[in-house]
Amino acid sequence: MLKGKVAVITGGSRGIGRAIALEFASNGADIAIIYAGNSEAAKETAETASKAGVKAGTYQCDVRSFEAAKKTVADILEEFSRVDILVNNAGITKDSLLLSMSEESFDDVMDTNLKGAFNMIRHLYPHMMRRRSGTIINISSVSGLTGNAGQANYSSAKAGMIGLTKTVARELAPRNITCNAIAPGYIETDMTAKLSDRIIEAAINTIPLKRMGKPEEVAKLAAFLASDFARYITGETIRVDGGVGM
């Protein structure tokens, strides 16, 4: 389904990003994994992806930095010659009620989750325009659609990603480039593993399907959006949330 394509995945070493990297690799795509600090996790993901017979590389990059993102994109293009798919998955949380949220916590989440996506799109934009082909997938969140108490920074960043998605989709559609967002709900990742049993139980009670999602369920949708089957879909935000946001 993705044979011969090159995919760049930010936050690709763990959780949803790792699942997307492995799903893409299983469908024939070469993989460039961008990670923040856990080199061992990135290496393990790349090695696992390469078992599918594809090329897989790792790149450490602070996506918050415009210049660091620019250099990393250049390095990837030098190594892989082209990029067909960009998945903006890198994200962090620093939750607290707005009354006690620090400016630093707000800025850190916005810079990583939203500005990081902008930086990567900005530096791959000219390449995809020249090739008149490409797919951009932004991993937003159901929190960006509904809001969530204690997540003013995270919800704002994820809502911003949806606006960014629609704008990029409109700008690049004439060049045959699509841009869509995926809005996961409660997914079993390192991020949700930090939650207490009480919070998890309360969350599951709000989900019509009465369970948390798996990273692989998000990855399957990402693979579809990255494939030629989805060439007439752009500017959309698709929830993978068990019905919690409906």
Q: Which residues are catalytic?
A: 154
Torsion sign, CA atoms 161, 111, 32, 14: negative
Contact 181, 138 (CB under 8 A): yes
Buried b (16+ CB within 10 A) or exposed e, 160-189: bbbebbbebbeebeeeebbbbbbbbbbbbb
In contact, 224 and 218? CB cutoff 8 Å? no
Strands 237-240 vs 177-184: parallel, antiparallel or unpaired: parallel
β partners of residue 10: 34
The backbone region for 174, taken as left when phi is positive above 0, alpha when psi lies in -120 to 50, beta otherwise, is alpha
Sheet holding 237-240, edge to edge: 56-60, 30-35, 6-10, 85-88, 134-139, 177-184, 237-240
Bridge-partner residues for 184, per DSSP?
240
